[in-house]
Amino acid sequence: MNRISTSLLFDRGISSMLEQQAKLSRTQIQVASGKRILSPKDDPAGAAYALDLRTAISQTEQYQANAERASSRLELQESTLQSVDNLMPRIKELTVQGLNDTNTPSDRLAIAQELRHINDQLMALANTKDSNGEYIFAGFDANTIPFDNPAEGTFTYAGDTGSRSLQISATRQIQDRENGFDVFMDIGTSTGVKRNLFETVHGIIAGLEADAPDSVYLDDLDLAQEHVTDVRTRGGARLNSIDSQKGMNDQFILTMQTALSNTEDLDLAEAVSRFEQEMVALQAAQQTFNMVQGLSLFNYL
């Protein structure tokens, strides 16, 4: 005949209650967190899959942040070049006005003076900074002021010809700004002599101040405006590409988040039902333990 000692009954009762308490506690944490998987041992395969999903979401969110940054830079470039574009008709208007034979030397000096102010505006626009204090047309050397006018009629570029790009998807990078050399310095002329935009305007100014305006600069102004328009068109195409990629990134993140939710989120109705069952089981274990504690042979003597 097997005999069960009082200490064994006691230990079994304690173990039963602790086991039920652990189950109840785990279910409480699940309900509070809304998560089915609290640790990898709950579902090793599911936990690994959830980790992969989180990594994919995090990477795509970084791509999305890069896309936003690229958009911001390209939008600043566009607004700056639009301001440049807006000045070009006035430059041409003044140039045509200066070519008129009815002008006196003093008239041409006055026109030249206005053109000097406009050229200063062009230089200021070419040296535009972004919100981080970086020169947007300096290439990779964004902390160096790109354009300078060290002497009369001399205009220099101190940036480089690099073009920054940002990763906006796992397989795609996009150029987020143009370098200043390509925008303002590398402009063709009707005579075949390379002149930058500032030199072109200064050539008009010099002719007016000498009372000998040259009509060749009218063609050069047209070429300069076409060049700026081409740069703006490239920027606009990149902005459209970024918008398209951002939409795809958003859709990918939503898909991954849905998969993550399906993998680790809790079925609340099932968990509440299980919680109630575990509560009943714990109460039964406690009552049984109390009853066993009260059993003693001396109670029957």
Average the pLDDT over 156-176 and give the result.
Answer: 92
What is the torsional sign of CA 81, 85, 90, 95? positive
pLDDT band for position 13 (50/70/90)? low
**129 inside domain:** yes
Determine the pLDDT at residue 1.
46
Mark whether 200 and 59 lie in a shared domain.
Answer: yes
**237 inside domain:** yes
The answer to whether 76 and 136 are in contact (CB under 8 A) is yes
CATH number at residue 104: 1.20.1330.10
Residue 283: half-sphere exposure toward Cβ, Cα within 13 Å: 6
Which domain covers residue 99, as residue numbers? 54-258
Tell me the pTM.
0.76
pLDDT exceeds cutoff 60 at 28: yes
Task: Look up residue 99 and give its amino acid.
Answer: L
**65 inside domain:** yes
pLDDT exceeds cutoff 70 at 269: no
Maximum Cα–Cα distance across the chain = 138
DSSP assignments along 3-52, one per residue: ---HHHHHHHHHHHHHHHHHHHHHHHHHHHHTBS-SSGGG-HHHHHHHHH
**48 inside domain:** no
3-state secondary structure of 205: helix
Average the pLDDT over 269-277 and give the result.
Answer: 64
More confident residue, 60 or 190: 60
Determine the pLDDT at residue 40.
74
Mark whether 100 and 242 lie in a shared domain.
Answer: yes
Determine the pLDDT at residue 55.
95
Structural domain count of the chain: 2
Mark whether 171 and 145 lie in a shared domain.
Answer: yes
Mark whether 62 and 125 lie in a shared domain.
Answer: yes
pLDDT exceeds cutoff 70 at 99: yes
How far, in Å, CA of 256 to CA of 273, rounded?
29
How far, in Å, CA of 164 to CA of 173, rounded?
10
Average the pLDDT over 90-103 and give the result.
Answer: 95
More confident residue, 13 or 154: 154
How far, in Å, CA of 15 to CA of 282, rounded?
11
Average the pLDDT over 91-95 and give the result.
Answer: 96
Determine the pLDDT at residue 298.
45
Dig out the tokens for 33 from the structure: 């967190």
Q: Chain-wide mean pLDDT for the chain?
A: 84
Determine the pLDDT at residue 300.
45
Dig out the tokens for 218 from the structure: 């009218």
Mark whether 18 and 65 lie in a shared domain.
Answer: no
Residue whose C-alpha is closest to residue 98's, from 259, 212, 182: 212
How far, in Å, CA of 195 to CA of 43, rounded?
69
Helix%, strand%, coil% for the chain, nearest 5: 70, 5, 25
pLDDT exceeds cutoff 80 at 34: no
Mark whether 139 and 219 lie in a shared domain.
Answer: yes
Going by their DSSP bridges, the two strands 165-169 and 172-175 should be labelled as antiparallel
pLDDT exceeds cutoff 90 at 260: no
pLDDT exceeds cutoff 80 at 91: yes
Average the pLDDT over 156-181 and give the result.
Answer: 92
